[in-house]
Amino acid sequence: MKRRKFFEKSLIGGMALSAFPFLGKSNHHYLPSEFPTRKLGKTGEKLSIIGFGGIMVANTEQSKANSMVARAFEMGINYFDVAPSYGNAEDQLGPALEPYRNKSFLACKTLERDKAGAKKEMEESLKNLKTDYFDLYQLHALTKRDDVEKAFGPDGAMETFLKAKKEGKIRYIGFSAHSQEAALLAMEKFDFDTILFPINFVCWHQGSFGPQVVKKAREKGMGILALKSLAFTRIPEGEKKPYERLWYIPIEDKKTADLSLRFTLSQGVTAAIPPGDHQFWDIALKIAQNYTPPDQKELSELKEISSGIAPLFKA
């Protein structure tokens, strides 16, 4: 078997995902009583280094969503992220999070680029999530320069953001992006508190995607929140998604998953949000509880693993 094919087979199918204490009986004893936290840029907030992606509770029974959130708090997780585009995730997360709202850092997003649309969606999200404020509200999925220009133009979404912050409905303002061009332009336009961005070793090495954005965010003292830390590559055309909530192939090999998440967390990141499938939540927690930055040998190994793999994103 050729070496590259061997890597792909081991990474895509090498891990048996059969035991996930997060969803079974409460087995949170394998985590420390205080989960690792880091400061969020210049905000002064301290977040758990793993965030709870609200998409995990989409289309689940409310009792199950309640249990997932409760156990997250038992484990020391305080950072929760959701968006209206995640199906009915807001409807499920709101009641589950309500008992812990004053102990949590809740981030939400909007895909709307105009003032009226952003206001309407923000108010709906506040209602769905049973809260009167967001700790962090973000322009969601900035992809093109036009997304940024519209948000900052006349009657753009940023007018809603700034007004809401004055009214106490938003504490901090951030954005998420899957484009270096859009991310860099957004950071030029405004002193955002945070950026939510794919920071992934394959994209980093094979797509030159990430280094420039991370450097700029660090220079500005922003809180850096990471996506796609456990992503591997795109699903080949015509093949079925291996996981319902994921549009990409995740890393299933234990060793590579460990190296990949540690790589992401070593890039000045405050917190990483694991893939939206609950099976990877437990994996990320176990890796993060004993986090140490990768050494040079491990970094070289990761770069070698990425060789020849198509990245999810390119610069």
Catalytic residues: 86
Distance of alpha carbon 225 from alpha carbon 199, whole angstroms:
9
Distance of alpha carbon 135 from alpha carbon 168, whole angstroms:
10
Q: Residue 197 is inside which H or E element, if any?
A: strand 194-198
Q: Looking only at Cα atoms, what is the longest distance across the chain?
A: 62
DSSP 218-250: HHTT-EEEEE-TTEEEEPPTTPPPSSTT-SEEE
CB atoms within 10 A of CB 222: 24
Distance of alpha carbon 198 from alpha carbon 305, whole angstroms:
18
Distance of alpha carbon 47 from alpha carbon 61, whole angstroms:
27
Contact in structure between 210 and 255 (CB atoms under 8 Å):
no
